[in-house]
Amino acid sequence: MSDIKIIKEETLSDKKYPLKFYTFQRTGSKGKLLEKKNEVYFRPDAVTVLLVDSVNSKFLLIKQFRLPTFLNGNETGYLVEACAGLIDEGESPEETAYREVDEETGYPIHDLTKVANVYTSAGGITEFQHLYIAWYNSRGRHGEGGGLEEEGEDIELVEMSFDEARRTLKKGEFMDAKTILLLQHYFLNYE
Ligand SMILES: Nc1nc2c(ncn2[C@@H]2O[C@H](COP(=O)(O)OP(=O)(O)O[C@H]3O[C@H](CO)[C@@H](O)[C@H](O)[C@@H]3O)[C@@H](O)[C@H]2O)c(=O)[nH]1
Ligand SMILES: [Mg+2]
């Protein structure tokens, strides 16, 4: 680890989150000095929470437009995902989980449970995801949800039965990695 030497660091863009271009050296597994180049996009770490109503056998998912997917083959640009958001400065992942669930869905949750920490695209993006499941009551009272208007969020709530989620998984129709991981985790460990 300690023999990694950054030879050059160039900032390619710094509009929202920095995109940098590195030239670095490190000793490889065969003891040889290697020089490499790597573009790195510094997106903040994030939290994802799969909301489960085990009494009524339902998940609460969200649907929203995702430009990068539209630019890469997703015809409508819409993606069905578990509730997720970026960690604000000074926030713990648990605090982000409660805030994002409230902003995006408006439902109270309980028993927030850690599932895993994952790098989502290790070759080029710094982002580290904190994955959780939590329980909600689909028949309970809830706030508005829908995301923050001032951030341009436009979020539709999608309630999906366990059966439909299983079928959609089997057909390979979910397209968001963290959502697939959490649904599979739930079916493997709780059903
Ligand atoms: N201006 C600007 N706004 C951005 C940019 N990138 C994101 N935003 C905005 O910043 C807000 C972030 O909303 P969050 O709910 O905190 O995050 P998220 O977009 O849901 O992110 C989660 O899901 C993504 C898609 O799967 C993940 O990529 C991400 O890691 C995270 O898990 C959204 O309004 C989004 O449009 C950008 O480059 N420029
Ligand atoms: Mg979000």
| Ligand 1 centroid, distance to 155 Cα (angstroms) | 12
Residue 113, domain CATH? 3.90.79.10
Domain of residue 30: give its range.
Answer: 5-41
Q: Which of 77-81, 144-148, 181-185 is predicted least confidently?
A: 144-148
Mean pLDDT of the 111-135 span: 97
178 pLDDT above the threshold of 70: yes
Length of the chain, in residues:
191
How confident is the model at residue 163, as a pLDDT? Answer: 98
Asked if 13 and 69 sit in the same domain, the reply is no
Atom of ligand 1 nearest to the CA of 153: 34
Ligand 1, atom 1: nearest CA belongs to which residue? 16
Three-state DSSP at 17 gives coil
Ligand 1, atom 7: nearest CA belongs to which residue? 16
Task: Give residue-wise pLDDT tens across range 15-47.
Answer: 999 999 999 999 998 989 999 999 999 999 999
Is the distance from CB of 133 to CB of 110 less than 8 angstroms? no
Task: Give residue-wise pLDDT tens across range 127-175.
Answer: 999 999 999 999 887 787 888 877 878 899 999 999 999 999 999 999 9
Q: What is the pTM of this model?
A: 0.94
Separation of alpha carbons 191 and 33, rounded Å: 50
Asked if 163 and 177 sit in the same domain, the reply is yes
